[in-house]
Amino acid sequence: MIDGYFAGSFPRSPELIEATINFEKGKIDEADLEKEFARATDELVKLQVSKKFGYVADGMLRWSDLLRPFTTELGGIEVGALTRWFDNNTFYRKPIIVNELKGNKKIALRITHKNQLPRKVEWKAILPAPFTFAQLSENKHYRNKSELMFSYSKILREGMKDLAEADFSYVQLSDPSLVYRPLKGPIQKEELAGVKEALREAIKGVEVRTSLQTFFGDFAKILPEALDFPVDDLGFDLYETSISELGKYEFTKGIALGLVDSRNSVLENSAELAKIAKHLIESVYPSKIKEVFICPNTDLDFLPWKVAERKVDTVSKVVNALRGDLLG
Amino acid sequence: MDKLFPTQEVGSLAKPTWRIKSLKGEIITEADRREAMAWGVKLELEELNKLGELLEEEDSAKKREKIVEWSALYAIKLFEATGLDIVFDGEQWRKEMYEWVIRNVEGFNFLGFVKSFDYRYFNKAACISKPRWIKPIYLYEFLFTKKHARKPIKIPFTGPYTLIDWSFNEHYGKALEKGSSNLRAQRFEGRKEFLFDLVKEVIRPEIKKLVKAGAGWIQLDEPAATTHPTGEEMNLFVEGFNETVAGVDCKFSLHNCYSNYGLLAQYVPALKKCSQISLEFANRDSKRLGMNGEIRAGYEILKLFEENGFKEKYGLGVIDVHTNFVESPELVRDRILRGAEIIGDPERVNPSTDCGLRTRSWEVSFTKLKNEVLGAELARKEF
């Protein structure tokens, strides 16, 4: 199977941007703003359906950053200062953990807007992974970040169960902190064992297909340990990952190839990308091709809406080229 | 400048309402008019009736041009009235630091707005062909400032590393597409080529024109300097700075704020011809009076710069630009003295604001700057 999907949030459309600015200025109320969010989400869903994506997501247009719905809605967290989002010229609000984390009823369901997803397609939700959530927070309550990570894992599990019960069939856990470590060096094996356990805790008893999507750093640096993570698919940012290193390992899980660059507006040559993907797929699956997703390398909201639409088209073209080439 | 503790501001000032509305072609209210006149009187500007008449005029390109000149004049005189030793025009000519440059250069295309945070966005351009200097970027504003300022002047200049980092890189991305499977290396090579072409084709030609016109001090603003905390990227930032200033007969300084100073400290000693680094410290400091390390915690990071071998001057941020709290002259004095104590040489301290005061009202900015000057005077008495 070779399919396409989003690996994160989509940018806001020019009309939606204008609405958010007008909302801030008090020119429109929350209900008007919500109408604009809903309108843009509908458009985005149609785009994914038209490209025949295997799983369709709501695009996370309402999210101000990957952690924000949790930062503002979970108990035990205060909203902290604006902080640089990895090595980008964008910023998130740091969650300050001041007390024991407390789940907020059906939070995962409320923030994924299933009412805007059509019945005829499979639904995908995207949530922050335990390690990244803990790393990007300021911990003032738990003994250490590991304890915080496991506490969040339990809340995540409840959210994932709610999503599964609501007919979501795919949940991606985004984990950039796992691979973005420019000043720290690669994560140690013992810590990776903890990450694996936290993922197990989050996914335990949840009947939904799962992936761990990494970006902004080199996935090859967490191999071979990551091959045993308890998820169905592993995703990587191929603009940061050493493709030759990756090709040295044999994968038994599905892979999500972040092949389309969300951080540059240049439109890639889909045939070139398909060639790179084919080479990689044949390296990591020497005997039989397993499941492959083609996706942007991270959130598309580093780009303006129109450019992001074209990137989605590139994803679709690469998928079609690979299907023709590898699946006949 | 021989004076001990020469004072300065390092970024933009807020744009007055009458300027913003006039440039949008909106109607000027009586309150806007009164504000313009009141500040004009306070700053002892002449021929204010001409501004009054201009504000009444129908919208036109000529009117907008004149309005910008008036607001630049107001900003120069505001800085002078506070007693600052080095002045400029508060960047009144510029829409903002990125867009102003890119709109005046060939080779870029604005693609639309992208998120900065929450409901804030910025208009981001893509480099679509080799950048080329086509018209003056800062020259006119420099000539205007030179004509009207009575104090030594400097020119804030958006640095090349920040310009490439805040732009999409289409041209060099495409140029380097050779079927390589090392996408990371390919992207870095593209950034490098983009940076050096921008320096050669745009930055240096503009700097040379400024110097020829009499510019004596250019402050390179590089807020993106530590965005990518890797050795190769930090070296690229340093190489970009050094290439910019090579062989140019002018004083250069660097401004950077709200960044990873632990990292920056390792690289600034390699900056050539950088006579000063203007950094933000007040934001990291307490508001209490005193000189010990705990009270003046914001200045401890200076030790790292010293340990790494930085030998030049510091634009020492003693005014926090993100709060309406007005630092007293005594607080400013203590910050200056603590800075001088850590550095071990008062001659290397130039009191500054942390960054530009553009998010503060003119009233707050005026008072803060006045106290910066008074604080420097108090500090001088200790020597």
Determine how many CB atoms are found less than 10 A away from the CB of residue B225: 28
Query: For the range B57-66, what are the long-range contacts, defined as Cβ-Cβ under 8 Å and sequence gap of 24 or more?
Result: B59/B22, B59/B25, B63/B22, B64/B22, B64/B23
Q: Which residue of B has its CA nearest to A272?
A: B179
**d(C-alpha B137, C-alpha B127), whole Å:** 17
Return the pLDDT at A183. Answer: 83
Q: State whether residue A318 sits within 8 Å of chain B by CB.
A: no
The CA–CA distances, whole Å, from A53 to A57, A93, A112, A257 equal 10, 31, 17, 14
Angle in degrees, 0-180, between the axes of helices B17-24 and B61-82, rounded to the nearest 10 = 170
Q: Render pLDDT for A215-271 as a digit per residue (tens, 0 to 9).
A: 999 999 999 999 999 999 999 999 999 999 999 999 999 999 999 999 999 999 999
CB contacts of A243 in chain B (<8 Å) are 181-183
Q: State whether residue A17 sits within 8 Å of chain B by CB.
A: yes
Residues 231-270 of A with CB under 8 A from B: 238-244, 261, 264-266, 268-269
Contact B181 A276 (CB under 8 A): yes
Return the pLDDT at B178. Answer: 55
Return the pLDDT at B180. Answer: 63
Q: State whether residue A193 sits within 8 Å of chain B by CB.
A: no
Structure tokens at B256: 């950077």
Q: Does residue B249 contact residue B204 with C-beta atoms inside 8 Å?
A: no
Summarize the confidence of residues A315-327 as an average pLDDT: 93
Nearest to B117 among A64, A240, A242 (CB): A64
Structure tokens at B135: 């018209």
CA of B181 vs chain A CAs: smallest distance (Å): 6
pTM of the shown model: 0.94
Nearest to A90 among B116, B168, B174 (CB): B116
Return the pLDDT at B176. Answer: 55
CB contacts of A90 in chain B (<8 Å) are 114-117
Q: State whether residue A83 sits within 8 Å of chain B by CB.
A: no
CB contacts of B173 in chain A (<8 Å) are 264, 266
For chain B, the three-class secondary structure string (H helix, E strand, C coil) is CCCCCCCCCCCCCCCCHHHHHHHHCCCCCHHHHHHHHHHHHHCCCCCHHHHHHHHHCCCCHHHHHHHHHHHHHHHHHHHHHHCCCCECCCCCCCCCCCHHHHHCEEEEEEEEEEEEECCEEEEEEEEEEEEEECCCCCHHHHHHHHHHCCCCECEEEECHHHHHHCCEEHHHHHHCCCCCCCHHHHHHHHHHHHHHHHHHHHHHHHHHHHHHCCCCEEEEECCCCCCCCCHHHHHHHHHHHHHHHCCCCCEEEEEECCCCHHHHHHHHHHCCCEEEEEECCHHHCCCCCCCCCCCCHHHCCHHHHHHCCCCCEEEEEEECCCCCCCCCHHHHHHHHHHHHHHHCCHHHEEEEECCCCCCCCHHHHHHHHHHHHHHHHHHHCCC
Q: Please tell me whether residue A232 adopts helix, strand or coil conformation.
A: coil
Contact A304 B111 (CB under 8 A): yes
- Is the pLDDT confidence value at A169 over 60? yes
Question: What are the φ and ψ backbone dihedral angles of B251, each rounded to 5 degrees?
Answer: -85, 135
Structure tokens at B89: 């025009």
Kindly list the strands in the beta sheet with A75-84, ordered across the sheet, starting from the edge strand earlier in the chain: A75-84, A91-102, A138-139
Q: Render pLDDT for A183-196 as a digit per residue (tens, 0 to 9).
A: 888 899 999 999 99
Nearest to A87 among B111, B122, B227 (CB): B227
Q: Does residue A23 contact residue A33 with C-beta atoms inside 8 Å?
A: yes
Structure tokens at B213: 């016109």
Structure tokens at B311: 């030998």
Summarize the confidence of residues A41-56 as an average pLDDT: 96
**Cα A240 from chain centroid (whole Å):** 16
Report residues of chain B scoring pLDDT below 50. none
Return the pLDDT at B177. Answer: 60
Residue type, A71: T
Return the pLDDT at A237. Answer: 97
For residue A191, the number of C-alpha atoms closer than 13 Å in the C-beta half-sphere is 17
Residues 128-187 of A with CB under 8 A from B: 182-183
Strands (E), chain A: 2-4, 75-84, 91-102, 124-128, 138-139, 170-174, 209-213, 233-237, 254-260, 292-296
Q: Which residue of A has its CA nearest to B171?
A: A266
Question: Which helix H or strand E contains A311, and what residues bound it?
Answer: helix A305-322
pLDDT-based confidence at A289, cuts 50/70/90? confident
Q: Does residue A244 contact residue A305 with C-beta atoms inside 8 Å?
A: no
Q: Which residues of B185-199 are buried (b: 16+ CB within 10 A; e: fewer)?
A: ebbbbbbbbbbbbbb
Q: Which residue of A has its CA nearest to B227?
A: A87
The CA–CA distances, whole Å, from B148 to A61, B70, B87, B95, B365 equal 49, 11, 11, 21, 21
Q: Which domain holds residue A215?
A: 2-327
Return the pLDDT at A186. Answer: 87
Return the pLDDT at A327. Answer: 83
- ipTM entry: 0.93
More confident residue, A81 or A52: A52
CA of A265 vs chain B CAs: smallest distance (Å): 6
Residue type, B138: Y
Q: Please tell me whether residue A258 adopts helix, strand or coil conformation.
A: strand
Angle in degrees, 0-180, between the axes of helices B48-56 and B30-42, rounded to the nearest 10 = 160
Q: Which residue of A has its CA nearest to B111?
A: A304
pLDDT-based confidence at A33, cuts 50/70/90? very high
Question: What are the φ and ψ backbone dihedral angles of B16, each rounded to 5 degrees?
Answer: -65, 150
Determine how many CB atoms are found less than 10 A away from the CB of residue B317: 27
CA of B45 vs chain A CAs: smallest distance (Å): 34
**d(C-alpha A59, C-alpha A225), whole Å:** 31
- Number of structural domains (chain A) is 1
Question: What are the φ and ψ backbone dihedral angles of A259, each rounded to 5 degrees?
Answer: -100, -20
Residue type, B280: E
β-sheet bridge partners, residue A257: A236, A294
Return the pLDDT at B107. Answer: 98
Nearest to B111 among A182, A242, A265 (CB): A265
Contact A89 B166 (CB under 8 A): yes
CB contacts of A9 in chain B (<8 Å) are none
The CA–CA distances, whole Å, from A295 to A8, B23, B61, B179 equal 9, 43, 47, 19
**d(C-alpha A120, C-alpha A138), whole Å:** 41
CA of A165 vs chain B CAs: smallest distance (Å): 31
Residue in this structure with the two tokens 């002892």, named with its chain if needed: B44
Q: State whether residue B178 sits within 8 Å of chain A by CB.
A: no
- Specify the CATH number for the domain of residue A258: 3.20.20.210
Return the pLDDT at B69. Answer: 97
Query: What is the average pLDDT value for chain A, to the nearest integer?
Result: 95
